[in-house]
Structures are given as structure tokens and as C-alpha cells.
Amino acid sequence: MCFLRSDSNRLEVVLVSFVAMEKRRFMVETALQLEDIVNRFDIVEIIVVRTQKGKQEGGALAGLSEEYVRLLHHTLPLNFGPTGNGEEDGKTVSVTTLSANTPTESTDACIKRHLEPYHLDAVYERLSGGESGDGSIKRETPDGALRLDLPGSTLRALDVFHSGGKAKGSLLSMLDRCITVCGSRCLRKWLAAPSAETAVVTARQEAVSFLLHGKDGGVVEELLQECAKVGDVESTIGKLYAKRCGVLEYLRLLRMVRNTRLLASQIEKESLPSLLADSVGNLHCSGISSFLETHKAEIESTATNPLELFMAEGMTQPAQFVSLSASRDNALKALDKELDRIREVLKLPALEYKTISGTPFVIDVPVGKSNKAEKDWTVLSRTKTNVRYHTPDILQHNISLCAARERLFVAATEAWDDYQVRLSGDHHTKSALDRLIQSVASLDVLRSLSMVSRQPGYVCPNLVPYGNTERVALKKARHPVMEHLIPGGYVGCDVEITVGGAWLLTGPNMGGKSALMRMVALCVIMAHLGCYVPADSACIPIFTGVYCRMGASDSILDGSSTFLSEMSETSRILGSPHLSRSLVLMDELGRGTSSFDGAAVAASTLEFLLQSGATTIFVTHYNYICEPYQDSRVQSVECYYMGFEVRTGDGNKRQLVFTYQPCKGITPSSFGVDVARQAGLPLSVTEAAKELSSKMEKELNFIVDGSKVRRFLQE
């Protein structure tokens, strides 16, 4: 759940998960900061907290600034309820509003009031004591482990979680082969912030390789299948902590813990890689054993409700059960005594109570014996052969029995709530179950990554600490998602970039420049997960961040132009404290303004990145930016262009054929006019454009050549 509350300067964002039992709070000042949050976390509901009551123009998101509204619409599949024809729109993130009682009512007070009908207000208050988040997303986890910095703009540009607003076509959809729900949830967390520590990534690689070759004998998959029988294990435990867990769910959880412990104990830890050994060890540790021993009686129970659970053999009954059980038993004894009396009256020693049409304790008397019935007996119904009665005492004792059972059931429900509170308050139990969830989720993610790595053409990348290798090297690398979506597959290519240097990439439109950038970045991210990558060989340093500046969009309403969007994202990248050890992808920077201003900004940004030591792929159509580096002795900067062939087709028309292979040098032309011709522009337009392009190119070359001569004479 994502609660949003806007004031004049900032946007307060409160994220709450009653599954993971976690709460985070952020103070957002820019749309880029909000983009980090909505891309990184799996948001299923947005609740806008309004200061003013009543209906406002602009719908559920009224009150938020235009840039925030646009970003939410662009990033999340927002569902505002049924459409005009009464049908749902198929989108999954619901949007509702919550009004503050007074302008000064705190956000936490509003949220608690909103959760009160669902009996989650007390849980929220408990989460508030351990909330995390101080307004920023950190590269360090609470245990101090470093994570790869992936801003929201990078996650969006690389289609990590969504592609075109849908999960299909994203990196997550390709990687997720998880069996359990908690495994899929864990994979998303790993993908939002991959590890940036060599030891952690190497340990994951070893575990993935072990599972890939089937050295576990299939026990890990069997263990995960057992966990999947419960459904969402993490959600079940979350319900337990929130006093919303059913008895059947709880018993299934206990049996799952028992069965996974038995399966885990069959695995020889000595033969496992360290990461797998730790995860398996957590499944049959002393905490789990102690938990199962304490709850042995529940595991064997066949109960379906709280009363049956506490009445089961071996269970400790609450104190109030003694008197309530006595009242129930007394009513049953009185009914048995009344039955004996009725048998004597009717002279039917084999007579028994019946339940007919839901009515209990019915005396079903044959017509021939009905004349012996007492006058105060109530006739319930008649048939041709029988007459059915209730005696006054049966009515009275049945009322007493129902009342006793109701009180007993209420007491059992209250005792079950108290039982859940005790379980959630037991630190050792909570710690053991949390470790179990984390271990099951980690095992599932590692197995999922091994399934991906098992695909043909995948290789284990050589991961080395930053500074211990000179180049990022990928041989015959392919885009991990597009190779499954493009008919005929993705054309593999070689990429070798000097660490701390740059590739200056030019080439025709649609030649594959952006796809190559994404391919490199996704391979880096997959490698940091511990996954194999689609290539013949790969050598990748451990980066501290991956930053992408790709694509742009205008916003007339909030005054944000394409160029301003470009500059905002670029400014954020250049200001990153982790820039010197990061991979930076810049795609056609400066295209949103005039050619000269855009080229100047692009050239200055490139120089800044080179001086900072970032490893950069810089895509541009400003070829003259690349020329100073083509003949220079700066070996860390290399010029490449995406290959093509010019062929003559029918009617001696020139046709452009892309090879999608990076070639050394600078492209002789962007072939924009040829692409326009392929797109179907009128011949008169493309011919005129060709003449203008040739004339302007000659004038520009004359200016550049003159500048070179003047610089030579000055030197």
C-alpha cells in the first residue's frame, strides 16, 4: 500500500506491507525521486490523503502536482474503478482517496483510521515503531551490504520490471521461474538492488552453478514444491502476526515447516556451496526444531476451527474452557436424560434423536405410537408414517446447549487471537520463521536463476573486483529479453570497453545502438545477481551503479520540455557520488534543443564522464564530437558505429541493410533520409531532404576544417 500526502513543498510517501510486515517513509521533492520509489517497490494500491474533504476536480489524484500525476500514470497501471460501461479496465493498481479530519491531523493518524475497519490499525502502530526510510533510497542494507545503485529512470529505461506498462517483455518476467510466491517477491527485491559485493555475487554464482548441474539431486525443487502447497508462506505468517490467520492456514504452515525440515535434513551440507549450505541449515536449525517440538500437538491435529484446535488431544485448554465445557456437557446430559424419559413414555427403547432439515433433537414417532405423546409436546411436522415432536425440556436444554456452545466458540476465538499474539510476540519463534522465509525465498531465486542459466548460449561471467580488470568484455552477447521476442533471434555482437573509458557509438537510425546499450546494461545487472549471461564469454567488473539516460517526453501542462527532462536526469547522474565506479549509458544527449547547443552540452558531458572515471557508452548523431577522439592517443576512448550495407534494389533505389554489428570508426552518415524513405514519406519530401542534408553537411565540414586549420596555426 502506498499512501501519498502532498504539501506546498514536498510529497510524503508511506509504504506499508502487511505481508512482509514492513513500513517505509520517504519525503519526495522531485519527480525523479518518486520514480525511484514507484519503480523499485511493488505497489498494488495508492491511497491519496487529502487535507480538504469533499469531491475535488481532477479525480482521485487531485491535490498532487502535475509532474507526480503524470509519472504515476506513465509508470503504474492505475485502476480508478469500473469504466463508464460498468466494466473493469483490467489495470491492477487501485487508486482511492482518504480525507483528513482536520488539516493538522497527522498522516499516521489518517492511515490508522483508514485501517481500523480492517483491524490492522494495531499492526500498523507496531510497524511504526520499526519503520525505515529517511527520505532517500540507500545503497546499503541494514546489515551494511552494498547494493548496485539502479535509479528509477534506469529501471524504466531498461524495462527491468515493466515494458510498455506490462510485465511481459521485462527482465523480471524473463528471470522469474520461481515456484513459491515468496521466491518471486525476493527475486524482485534482488533485481531492484543487486549486490555490489564480490564475495556475495561469487557465492550466488557458485550456488547457481551447483543447481544448474543438478548436484542437489532435485531435493531443492522438492522442498520448494512442498512450500508452494501452502500458497504464500510469507502472507500466512504476516496474517499470524496481524491476528488474521485461520486455523487451517496455521496447521498447513506447521506441516510445511515440518516437511521442509525433514527434506532439508536429508541434504548433506558438506557437499553444498556456502550460500546453499546456510539456507538449508536455516530450515532445520535448532530454532525450527524447538518450534516444531513446542507445537507438536497442533501438527497432528485435524481441527478446522479454534474450538476444535483447543479441544484436540495434547492441547492446553484456556482456563475459561473448564466452566464453559461443563455447561455444554450438562446440557447434553440433560438431553440424554430427557431421551430416556421419552423412550419410557412411548415404549420405544431404541428411539434416538434425529436432525431433520437442520433442526436438532427431533423425536420422530411412528403414527401408531403418537397417541402416547404428552399434550405439551410441540408438533414440528407430520408425514403419512411419522409425527415429529419437541418436548418443552428439549427446547429448554437445546437453548442452553446452543448458548454454551456459542460462549465456548467465542472463548475459543478469543483464545486463538491471544495465541497468535503470543506467537508473534515470541522473539525466537519470529526469528526462526523469518529466517525460514528468507531461506526458502533465496533457494527459490537461486533455482530460478539456474533455470535461466541453463538455456543454450548462456555462460558464467568472470566477475572481478573493480580495478582488477582493464575491460568490460562480452563476446557474441545477446539481449536476454529480445532474443526470445524477435523472430529469428537476436544478433550477437562483441563489446569491449575500457574500464573508466568510453565507447562513442554512432550509426544509422534503427541500427541497433540503443538495443546494444540495453544489452550491455542487462548483462551487467544479471551478472550482479549471480546469473549466467547470454554470451560466449563475459568479463565484467563489480560496478557500484548503472545509470541510463535514454528516451525523453514532453509535458506541456507542467512546463517540462524534452530538453529539460534530459538535463534533469543527466544532472542527477553527474552528481552521483558513485559515478567513478559506475556504468553510464547516454543515448543521444542534447537532441531536445538546437544542434549547436545540444552538441555543446553532449561534448561537455562526455568530457565530464571521462574525467570522473565512469565507464561510458555514449550514443550520438553528432559525429564531430567523436572526431577529436578518433585520431587521439587516448586509448580508453574508442569510436564505433553500428554496421550497415548499402544495396541497390529494384529501380536502382538505394536500400539500407543493417548488420547490427559494431564496427570501428565513425559512421559516414546517419542515413536519416533513407530511414524516412523506408517509413513511407513522399518521394518529393525525401529527395528535397537529401539535397538539403548534403548541402548542410558540406557547410558544416567546411566550418570544422577551418577550425582545425586555425587550431593548427595557433599551436
Q: Which three cell numbers stand for residue 397?
A: 436444554
> What pLDDT score was predicted for residue 678?
64
Torsion angle in degrees (nearest 10) through CA of 485, 486, 489, 491: -120
pLDDT for residue 135 is more than 60: no
Per residue in 449-473, pLDDT tens? 999 999 999 999 999 988 777 889 9
The dihedral through the CA atoms of 124, 130, 135, 138 has a sign that is negative
Residue 707 pLDDT grade (very low, low, confident, very high; cuts 50, 70, 90): low
* Mean per-residue pLDDT, 330-352: 94
Q: Which three cell numbers stand for residue 52?
A: 480538504
* Mean per-residue pLDDT, 658-664: 85
Task: Please report, as a single letter, which amino acid is at residue 375.
Answer: K
Between CA 367 and CA 371 the distance in angstroms is 8
The dihedral through the CA atoms of 596, 597, 599, 604 has a sign that is positive
Highest-scoring range by mean pLDDT, 49-58, 362-371, 425-434, 662-671: 362-371
Task: Please report, as a single letter, which amino acid is at residue 272.
Answer: L
Between CA 189 and CA 600 the distance in angstroms is 39
pLDDT for residue 581 is more than 90: yes
> What pLDDT score was predicted for residue 59?
74
- Burial code of 75-90, b = ≥16 C-beta within 10 A, e = fewer? bbebbeeeeeeeeeee
Highest-scoring range by mean pLDDT, 75-79, 102-106, 363-367: 363-367
Torsion angle in degrees (nearest 10) through CA of 551, 175, 581, 608: -10
> What pLDDT score was predicted for residue 140?
45
Edge to edge, what strands does the sheet with 386-390 contain?
A: 354-356, 359-366, 386-390, 378-382
Between CA 293 and CA 300 the distance in angstroms is 12
> What pLDDT score was predicted for residue 652?
63
Residue 553 pLDDT grade (very low, low, confident, very high; cuts 50, 70, 90): very low
Between CA 225 and CA 239 the distance in angstroms is 22
Of the candidates 23, 65, 30, 67, which has an alpha carbon nearest to the alpha carbon of residue 48?
65
Q: Which residues share a beta bridge with 42?
A: none
Give the whole-number percent of the chain exceeding pLDDT 70.
86
Q: Give the Cβ contact number of residue 475 at 10 Å.
A: 15
> What pLDDT score was predicted for residue 556?
33
pLDDT for residue 558 is more than 50: no
CATH ID of 171-316+415-454, from 3.30.499.10, 3.30.70.20, 1.10.1420.10, 3.40.50.10210: 1.10.1420.10
Q: Give the Cβ contact number of residue 160 at 10 Å.
A: 24
Between CA 395 and CA 12 the distance in angstroms is 61
> What pLDDT score was predicted for residue 139?
46
Q: Which three cell numbers stand for residue 99?
A: 480525507
Higher pLDDT, 378 or 643: 378
Give the whole-number percent of the chain exceeding pLDDT 90.
47
Per residue in 665-691, pLDDT tens? 888 766 666 666 666 677 677 667 667
What is the bridge-based pairing of β-strands 386-390 and 378-382? Answer: antiparallel
Q: Looking at domain 458-551+561-703, does it have CATH number 3.40.50.300? A: yes
Between CA 508 and CA 622 the distance in angstroms is 12
Between CA 361 and CA 352 the distance in angstroms is 9
Between CA 369 and CA 376 the distance in angstroms is 16
pLDDT for residue 133 is more than 60: no
Task: With H, G, I as helix, E, B as strand and everything else as coil, classify residue 683.
Answer: helix
Per residue in 186-239, pLDDT tens? 999 999 999 999 999 999 999 999 999 988 888 899 999 999 988 888 888 888
CB 469 within 8 A of CB 605: no
Q: Which three cell numbers stand for residue 400?
A: 442452553
* Mean per-residue pLDDT, 74-90: 67
DSSP 479: -
Of the candidates 147, 227, 136, 247, which has an alpha carbon nearest to the alpha carbon of residue 194?
147
> What pLDDT score was predicted for residue 554?
38
Higher pLDDT, 59 or 49: 49
Of the candidates 537, 535, 548, which has an alpha carbon nearest to the alpha carbon of residue 576?
548
Q: Which three cell numbers stand for residue 43?
A: 505497489
Q: Do domains 171-316+415-454 and 458-551+561-703 have the same CATH topology?
A: no
> What pLDDT score was predicted for residue 316?
85
Q: Which three cell numbers stand for residue 144?
A: 551494511
> What pLDDT score was predicted for residue 555?
40
The mean pLDDT of the chain is 85
> What pLDDT score was predicted for residue 675?
61
CB 662 within 8 A of CB 516: yes
Per CATH, the number for 320-404 is: 1.10.1420.10
Task: With H, G, I as helix, E, B as strand and everything else as coil, classify residue 158.
Answer: coil
Q: Which three cell numbers stand for residue 656?
A: 539500407
Q: Looking at domain 2-138, does it have CATH number 3.30.420.110? A: yes
| Alpha helix segments (H runs only) across 99-192 | 107-115, 121-128, 152-157, 171-175, 181-192
Strands (E), 414-500: 458-459, 462-464, 471-477, 493-498
> What pLDDT score was predicted for residue 269?
75
Per residue in 489-509, pLDDT tens? 788 899 999 999 999 998 877
Task: With H, G, I as helix, E, B as strand and everything else as coil, classify residue 518.
Answer: helix
* Mean per-residue pLDDT, 571-592: 88
Of the candidates 597, 618, 615, which has an alpha carbon nearest to the alpha carbon of residue 606?
618
Highest-scoring range by mean pLDDT, 8-12, 65-69, 255-259, 623-627: 255-259
Task: Give residue for cell 546499450.
Answer: 517
* Mean per-residue pLDDT, 90-109: 87
Q: pTM for the full model?
A: 0.85
Residue 82 pLDDT grade (very low, low, confident, very high; cuts 50, 70, 90): low
First CA to last CA across the chain, in angstroms?
64
Between CA 31 and CA 67 the distance in angstroms is 6
Q: Report domain extents, the chain.
A: 2-138, 171-316+415-454, 320-404, 458-551+561-703
Q: Which residues 6+ apart lie within 8 Å of 337 measured at CB?
A: none
- Burial code of 628-637, b = ≥16 C-beta within 10 A, e = fewer? ebeeeeeebb
Q: Which residues 6+ apart lie within 8 Å of 384 measured at CB?
A: 367
Task: With H, G, I as helix, E, B as strand and everything else as coil, classify residue 374.
Answer: coil
pLDDT for residue 266 is more than 60: yes
Highest-scoring range by mean pLDDT, 280-294, 336-350, 619-633: 336-350
Residue 557 pLDDT grade (very low, low, confident, very high; cuts 50, 70, 90): very low
CA distances from 1 to 18, 45, 236 (A): 9, 5, 18
Between CA 54 and CA 470 the distance in angstroms is 62
| Alpha helix segments (H runs only) across 266-350 | 274-283, 286-294, 296-299, 306-311, 321-346
Give the distance, in angstroms, between the CA of residue 353 and the centroid of all CA atoms in the same chain: 57
Residue 439 pLDDT grade (very low, low, confident, very high; cuts 50, 70, 90): very high
| Alpha helix segments (H runs only) across 530-594 | 562-574
What is the Cβ-side half-sphere exposure of residue 56, based on CA atoms within 13 angstroms? 17
Residue 21 pLDDT grade (very low, low, confident, very high; cuts 50, 70, 90): confident
